Amino acid sequence: MVQTSTGISQIFPTQSLKSALWANPRYGLTDPTGDPANQADVTDEWLELCDDDGFDVMRTSTTIAWGASGVRSDGVQSWEIDDGSNGVIGLTASPLWTQATLRAYTGPYGDPDTEINAAQEKAIYDIFEKYNKIARDS
């Protein structure tokens, strides 16, 4: 199976599996997980994300938490951003942090398509943010 995003949240199955492996011990979750290196487990995860909206939303929350933590599944800091925020992500996240979060959410770390997909999603995000800012400021 080709690595594609799926489900209502459009997350990637390997990211979903890796984020659950990261989140389970930190948050006391007992969510069953597979092996992101096992193609059968990746396929099962993809099907579950595709067919079960509740599962998809739950996995999206662990994916976003993992991405926001800035830590890869091997424990290495996945990005270093010197934007004055001291690594704090919040409602006032800088464009660099927004891009980094989209990158973590978009696909497997180190995958060449991840940067391309994240840049495209950031462009769409910027369009929506332009109009949301007008609405917030009015």
Tally of helices (H runs) and strands (E runs) in the chain: 5, 0
Lowest mean pLDDT among 42-46, 96-100, 131-135: 96-100
Distance between CA atoms of 138 and 136, rounded to whole angstroms?
6
Distance between CA atoms of 100 and 81, rounded to whole angstroms?
9
Whether the model pTM is above 0.75: no
Position 7 in a domain:
no
- Structural domain for 36, as ranges: 13-137
Position 5 in a domain:
no
* Residue-level length of the chain: 138
Instruction: Count how many domains the chain has.
Output: 1
Question: Higher-confidence residue: 69 or 92?
Answer: 69
Q: Which two tokens stand for residue 34?
A: 């597979």
> Could you read off the pLDDT of 102-116 as tens digits, one per residue?
776 666 566 677 777
Q: Which two tokens stand for residue 123?
A: 């462009």
Position 111 in a domain:
yes
Distance between CA atoms of 138 and 133, rounded to whole angstroms?
8
> Could you read off the pLDDT of 21-31 as tens digits, one per residue?
878 887 777 77
37 neighbors 44 (Cβ within 8 angstroms): no
